[in-house]
Structure 1
């Protein structure tokens, strides 16, 4: 079935006098224009023909950053249906020679990377991309657009979509039909992926007034591959060491404190644990470690939060760090270092990173001189740990 969508709205006088000559080039001079069209007008995606019963697509974000083996990759658009099935959209102008084969491999790669994420990981990535925080961001983005009422069922459905690799994969282009045979080999490589793949051709027509009529049409659609996908298991990373170490401080200054008192330190961290709130919905609360430090559990790793044993004039040093060890730890460290500019931009802070070959160990750390007022220390620790968790947790989840 072919549908026609007016873009922009308001085709007035001459609906039958249309021409396709050069219309695609005029409508979509660059791929980001097609991407924007899909995000702002998701009805251009014929989702009912791809996934009967899906109803509509609620756009979640554009250019979602995913962590590939060789660095970050960017999904053009992410959406979700009312049944909680995620929709991964990649936009290509087919006059681009590289698009003819690579796009299918790309969208399948994105599906594989998405399977590694939890609901909370995905929420954190979307929040970072659109610059918005909410207690359940994905739900808020989809609720009104799709007229949803059951938040728990939505969260469960999206979580199932992620864990099973059950996505609607859509390649949106301006001239797909001539390339169908060239991509069939890529589809064979998707065995075990429980996703639908659709190639959607968006033909653009113009009338004498210059208005554009779009006719999205499915050029190829696969059935769901029914084989159950193998579960993803992240490679273990060494846990963080108990003794805190900072890049700028002498080791003895960070030894577990005996002052002011162990009971006072315990009371301070009890207060922190009770008050700490994290934007990432998967993050559990901190737990006590030793005297004057606590631990935050992260995927296959942990982060240590500490404060120095005594004041330095009007200030006292507080900090937190992630330690990585061994071969797996070095691989994780190198990946995180490659993304350090992005992490620092997301968190708004400088992050120290160092690796010592003699002990086969490295750290990623943040510390600062904070007022000796305990409320100021608690506020700094809460804000800084929340930002670091939101940045590191999705990346650690993706490391395999």
Structure 2
């Protein structure tokens, strides 16, 4: 339902002008209102984005560039906040249900791709797009917010990329997608930390050919937190991965053990693939490594009964997870030759995994902790070497 009422423009002599809504595809006024118009408007006027109504932690975005090139396409507009948070905007005119589904999947693909980048990758691509050579991100933000510290800003941007923490906005006209439909796409993106919003831009024309832009939030989601697949006693469930940034003094004794273990493992883990983001330090018995597609990930975890430590590749239910797993099965003999003996393949209720496990005893024993760290380091590195390039290839061929 259209919630915009007809606006009135009052002049100094109390005359009222009823403004006419201009569809973004209307060329009668002499301007072609299209996606390029929306993109240019939002880049030049970031205050038109009602970000505070969606997530105030992304306030004061600084426009960085338009049409940023990535491996999965060019995203429309990129912003960075003074706190190092990233905002991705897609300017779209949704004319049919299929286009709506595609644009939501598209913006998630952009987020998944950026989550694979380091700060230097982002800096390089932005510099190429803007035609400059150095200090791109920090210089642009410092010009608007001169008191920010460079080291802290770089660290914060790096952390946003590493954690896949982004605000995704789809902005335009003709947007009528229901939030329940959008959740279908966000459900496939369990390895990122996303906030999502739909923004309608209603444009009205005045008699002297000026335009009045009225942004409106149509829908927003709560943050989509990281999740991992837990498989115990033949039961499948998706659980939320705990936030490792909580102060350790508020943790239970068991959580302190896990936080310290994952920290030690993160420091010790040497991955051959330089493009692989590190594990997330968690206060739970599990953590994960992101794969090229958000529909697949490698989980590292501990089971208590029986006492097993495991590394397994898992997929979201449905597509493209089904296709990824099926493609892997065609290379099963070669994959098993590259992985340690004892690797198992399992499909159940539409869920798939490739896993290996080893027994452990007591993590409070230093020798046992070091053995577990060595096992996880070696095994996780093997899984990354085997599965990451294959999944990247499958994703490119979709």
- TM-score of the two chains, using structure 1 as the length reference: 0.51
| Paired residues of 1:198 and 1:222 also in contact (CA < 8 A) | yes
> Closer, same or farther in 2 for the Cα pair 1:16/1:186, shift >3 Å?
farther
* 1:13 to 1:232, Cα distance in 2 relative to 1, 3 A: farther
2:70 paired with 1:66: yes
Over alpha carbons, which structure has the higher Rg? 1
Match of 1:195 in 2: 194
Q: Which residue of 2 aligns with 1:86?
A: 86
- Runs of 5+ consecutive residues of structure 2 not aligned to the other structure: 227-285, 293-384
Note if contact 1:82-1:148 (Cα within 8 Å) is conserved in structure 2. no
- Give secondary structure in 2 for the equivalent of 1:133: coil
**Aligned residue for 2:167?**
168
1:232 aligns with 2:290: yes
Check if 1:206 corresponds to 2:205: yes
Cα separation, 2, equivalents of 1:157 and 1:11 = 48
Give 1:147-186 correspondences, 5 Å limit.
147-186=146-185
Residues matched between the structures, number: 231
Distance 1:191 1:207, change over 3 A: same
Question: What SS does the corresponding residue of 1:167 show, helix, strand or coil?
Answer: strand
Find the aligned partners of 1:51 and 1:79 in 2 and give their Cα distance.
14
Aligned alpha-carbon RMSD (Å): 3.5
* Alpha-carbon distance between aligned partners in 1 of 2:37 and 2:174, rounded to the nearest angstrom: 15
Deviations 1:92-120, CA, capped at 9 Å, x for gaps: 01226653110100000000000010000
Task: State TM-score, norm by structure 2.
Answer: 0.52
Partner of 2:112: 112
Corresponding residue for 1:29?
Answer: 33
Cα separation, partners in 2 of 1:150 and 1:186, compared to 1, 3 Å: same
Q: What does residue 21 of structure 2 align with?
A: 20
Structure 1: 5+ residue runs without aligned partners?
235-326, 339-400
Q: Deviations over 1:46-71 (max 9, x none)?
A: 12222214331111111111113xxx
What is aligned with 1:304?
none
Paired residues of 2:24 and 2:34 also in contact (CA < 8 A) = no
Q: Is the 8 A contact 2:111 2:166 kept in 1?
A: yes
What SS does the aligned partner of 2:78 have? strand
Instruction: Name the SS of the counterpart of 1:171 in structure 2.
Output: strand
Q: Structure 2 residue aligned with 1:42, among 28, 43, 46?
A: 46
What residue in structure 1 maps to residue 55 of structure 2?
51
Deviation at 1:177, TM superposition (A): 2.9
Question: 1:43, CA displacement in angstroms?
Answer: 1.3
Instruction: Give the corresponding residue for 2:243.
Output: none
**CA distance 1:147–1:12, change in 2 (3 Å):** farther
Measured in 1, the distance between the counterparts of 2:13 and 2:143 equals 30
Is 2:130 the counterpart of 1:130?
yes
Deviation at 1:185, TM superposition (A): 1.3
Alpha-carbon distance between aligned partners in 1 of 2:215 and 2:89, rounded to the nearest angstrom? 14
